[in-house]
Amino acid sequence: MKPKHLFCIILLIPAFLQAQSGSESVRLPGVTPAGIRQARESVLDRDSILIGDQVWWILSLPDQARDPSFTRSVESPEMPGEAVEGVEILEGVRFDTIFHRKKMQEIQARIKLTSFDSGSYSLPYMPLFLKRVDGGTDTLWFKGPVLYVNTIPVDTTSFKAYGLKPQMKYPITAAEILSVAGLLLALAAIVYLTVRIIRRRRQNLPLFHSLKPAEPPHVVALKALDKIRAQQLWKTQKVKHYYTVLTDVLRIYFYNRWGIQAMEQTSAEMLGSLNSVSEKDELLTKEVITELQKVLNTSDLVKFAKYVPAENENEESLALAVKFVTSTARYEETENKEE
């Protein structure tokens, strides 16, 4: 073996050893305490804690760290979630300066830990990087102390089991009452509006405009018949139009009075509907229907068969229509409405 090769092997041996030993004891990623010649002590602010308690791990930096002519900055490695298995790092490295009589005495690095499992934990070596002014970096290693985590002692002799505590009842605030009341009001408004929209649409009425109270069917019909009488259409050679208007008034009356869809019915169908309604309405007698049939027959003949009735026949048709309306009018309802 040549001396040059031997020299290379000697150089590589420490690196190999370092790698081997590092793989055994590395707890924090990217750092290795192997080959450390000197490690500084570190302390916990308490040696033992109860489960779930929090504790500070304090690393005191050497005096050079305070010397601005020597140290530019101190940096910490990236912190993992756990220092060792079972000990969680709640807060990474926080640097703290200790003053005494307005003079900096010490720089400390603090790490907040906690544990939720009882036992003793040997904390790992912790590196800190001291960046020198001249550009170099010194790695400071700190020995990990031992953390004791205790459970809460339970006195089994005097232990008494208690049931689950009920949920705490807080007093109801005004804001809560107002918000619930507001929601209820909004809900009521929505329901009211929906019902109103549906009803108004069914009745074919506008949504918000309040209409005048509808006149009773017989009043509407009699007014329309009066208008026809005043116009005297049959005298102006408009007999067909006269009978069309006359039957339309009667059809509207049938609808308003009994709900018969008379506008879409033929004369025979209208008479059929009236006959079926007459069983429930004592005002709608057979005589009244027979007289109405006369009017409808005449109007059919005029409208569809070019029939030209005599003048007295035209007047009689109008009189029969008025008679039909007056004899079938329901006056009680009108009086009640007026009251």
Partner 1 sequence: METVNIKELNERIQRESAFVDIMTIEMSKVIVGQKPLIENLLIGLLANGHILLEGVPGLAKTLAIKTLASVVDAKFSRIQFTPDLLPADLIGTLIYSPRTEEFQVKKGPVFANFILADEINRSPAKVQSALLEAMQERQVTIGDKTFPLPEPFLVLATQNPIEQEGTYPLPEAQVDRFMLKVVVSYPGKEDEKRIIRMNNSGEFPTAAQVLKPEDIKKAREVVREVYMDEKIERYIVDLVVATRKPEEYKLANLQSLIAYGASPRASISLAMAAKAYAFIKRRGYVIPEDIRAVAYEVLRHRIGLTYEAEAENVVPENIITSVINAVEVP
| Residues near partner 1 (CB under 8 A) | 244, 261, 263-269, 300, 303-307
Do residues 112 and 11 make contact, with C-beta atoms less than 8 angstroms apart? no
Q: Please state the closest distance from residue 200 (CB atom) to partner 1, in A.
A: 17
Name 74's Cβ contacts closer than 8 Å, sequence gap at least 6: 61, 65, 95, 107, 109, 128, 129, 130, 131
Q: Please state the closest distance from residue 209 (CB atom) to partner 1, in A.
A: 22
Tokens 């004899």 belong to 327
Q: Please state the closest distance from residue 187 (CB atom) to partner 1, in A.
A: 31
For helices 239-258 and 311-328, angle between their N-to-C axes, nearest 10 degrees: 10
Nearer residue to partner 1 within complex by CB, 43 or 301: 301
Nearer residue to partner 1 within complex by CB, 18 or 261: 261
Q: Please state the closest distance from residue 306 (CB atom) to partner 1, in A.
A: 5
Amino acid letter for position 211: L
Q: How far apart are CA 81 and CA 182, in angstroms?
A: 47
Nearer residue to partner 1 within complex by CB, 84 or 289: 289
Element (H, E) at 332: helix 331-338
| β-strand pairing of 146-150 with 48-50 | parallel
Nearer residue to partner 1 within complex by CB, 56 or 307: 307
Q: Please state the closest distance from residue 255 (CB atom) to partner 1, in A.
A: 12
Nearer residue to partner 1 within complex by CB, 190 or 263: 263
Nearer residue to partner 1 within complex by CB, 36 or 263: 263
Q: Please state the closest distance from residue 269 (CB atom) to partner 1, in A.
A: 8
Do residues 89 and 81 make contact, with C-beta atoms less than 8 angstroms apart? yes
Do residues 126 and 28 make contact, with C-beta atoms less than 8 angstroms apart? yes
